[in-house]
Amino acid sequence: MAGPLTGVRIVEFSAIGPVPLAAMLLADLGADVVRVDRVAAAQGRPGLEIAMLGMARNRTSIAVDLKSPQGAEVIGRLLDGADVVLEGFRPGVMERLGFGPDEATARNPRLIFGRMTGWGQDGPLAQRSGHDINYAAVAGALEAIGPSDGPPTPPLNYIADFGGGALYLALGVVSALYEREQSGLGQVVDAAMVDGTASMTAMLRGMMTLGMWSDQRGSNSLDGSHPFYRCYETSDGKYVAVGAIEPQFWAELQLRLGLSASDWPQYDRTKWDDQHAQLEVIFRTRTRDDWAHLFADSDACVAPVLSLLEAPQHPANQARGVYVEVDGFMQPAPAPRLSRTPGEVRHGAPMSGEHTDEVLTQLGYTPEELETLRADDVIG
């Protein structure tokens, strides 16, 4: 069954972090994604792109020297027939290579140019380097995460790279594709991780306005300071996650633990330290999986904290097919799920340059021209 983006051709310039995840999401939904890799990678000298293996499925790969005149011609032909470009270079790099939005859309007015940066295409930080932790810090998201008696805790690279980056880039692209149906024209999608991360703080900012959220880390309902929303260690050194925020869920938690509701008022802050200490003692009396079994059929909002290796084996994940195995590699299944035109994993990750000849032949290159380009290290 064809996905909703079947027929959309995307050219993805090899990058790390948010660009490959955005490309994976769009490819899972049916888009034909051609990834442009470095010639060195195709020659067996991979760089950071090897770390992107988990997000590289459903692509074809060509390897091209972007800085050579012949390579630029290859890219020009590729972009002429594309619907979308995804790139994560610093501002100005695509322009210097000769494939910036002005040049590309002059040849292909319907082209949608998806640009992923940390700080945006303009502004005082536009040319500065950074990573997830930096963008989350400046956007105001990082300060809220972690204990009150220590530094903020880096949330891996989930927030800025993937939440504020890849998801917003993919949303911008599908929005531009929808708008193009009315106007017939492409446009630039300027997706900055700092912008997306700031957008994700909207709820907390609203709560702060209403006096429901404090700017003091470790004092709020969702940051682990409340006894009913935090992780507790179990007897086997593992953890359970307790999220009994609503009163009815807190009451269910007390019932399952054999606690007296009158002794466990939920929102009496003077009781929280004692409640936290008592819950620590209680949860250390059983293993994580024992607790998971006890709460499996309840609304107490208690769940086992699973590792990346354990998660695919959880019965609920298996029943829903949350993970799939492709080429011997366990990976998350396509999401979200559409009823009529669902996404699918059509094939695993390509080798760098695996489809160079196939794609360039489609662009009109002859076998003799391909041989010459390869001999000159223009393609790999």
Q: CB 124: neighbour CB atoms within 10 A?
A: 7
pLDDT value of residue 189: 98
> Does 327 lie in the same domain as 294?
no
Note if 276 is an active site residue. no
Q: Token digits for 378?
A: 């223009």
Element (H, E) at 13: strand 9-13
Answer yes or no: is pLDDT of 288 > 80: yes
Please report whether residue 2 resides in a domain. no
Residues 250, 332: one domain?
Answer: no
Mean pLDDT in residue range 352-374: 97
pLDDT digits (tens, 9 = 90+) for 78-88: 999 999 999 99
Residue 42, pLDDT above cutoff 90: no
Q: Using CB atoms within 10 A of its CB, is residue 117 exposed (0-12), middle (13-18) or buried (19+)?
A: buried
Identify the pLDDT of residue 50. 73
Q: Tens digit of pLDDT for each residue in 151-180?
A: 999 999 999 999 999 999 999 999 999 999
* Same domain membership, residue 56 and residue 20: yes
Strand-pair category, 59-63 with 32-37? parallel
Catalytic hit among 28, 161, 195, 223: 161
pLDDT at 302: 98
How many distinct structural domains can be found in the chain?
2
| 131 among known catalytic residues | yes
**Is there a single domain that holds both residue 188 and residue 332?**
yes
User: Do residue 177 and residue 126 come from a single domain?
Assistant: yes
**Per-residue confidence (pLDDT) for residue 153, from 0 to 100:** 95
Task: Please tell me whether the peptide bond between 336 and the residue prior to it is cis, using omega within 30 degrees of 0.
Answer: yes
Using left for φ > 0, alpha for ψ between -120 and 50, and beta otherwise, residue 7 falls in left
The answer on 82 and 169 residing in a single domain is yes
Q: Which residue has the higher pLDDT, 41 or 7?
A: 7
Q: At what angle do helices 18-28 and 167-183 cross, to 10 degrees?
A: 50
**pLDDT recorded at residue 367:** 97
Domain assignment present for 275: yes
Q: Tell me: do 247 and 348 sit in the same domain.
A: no
Same domain for 61 and 139, yes or no, is yes
Q: How far apart are the C-alpha atoms of 355 and 64, rounded to whole Å?
A: 11
| 344 has a pLDDT exceeding 70 | yes
Helix/strand/coil percentages in the chain, nearest 5: 40, 15, 45
In single-letter form, the type of residue at position 157 comes to: N
Percent share of the chain, pLDDT over 90: 91
261 and 328 together in one domain = no
Tell whether 345 is covered by a domain: yes
Q: Which amino acid is at 252?
A: E
Given 131, 276, 299, 357, which residue is catalytic?
A: 131
Mean pLDDT of 340-353: 95
What is the extent of the structural domain holding 19?
9-200+323-375
- Consecutive H or E run containing 10: strand 9-13
Residue 273 forms part of a structural domain: yes
The residue that leads in pLDDT, 271 or 78, is 78
Comparing 41-45, 60-64, 290-294, 298-302, which segment has the lowest mean pLDDT? 41-45
pLDDT for 48 equals: 66
Domain of 95, CATH number, reads 3.40.50.10540
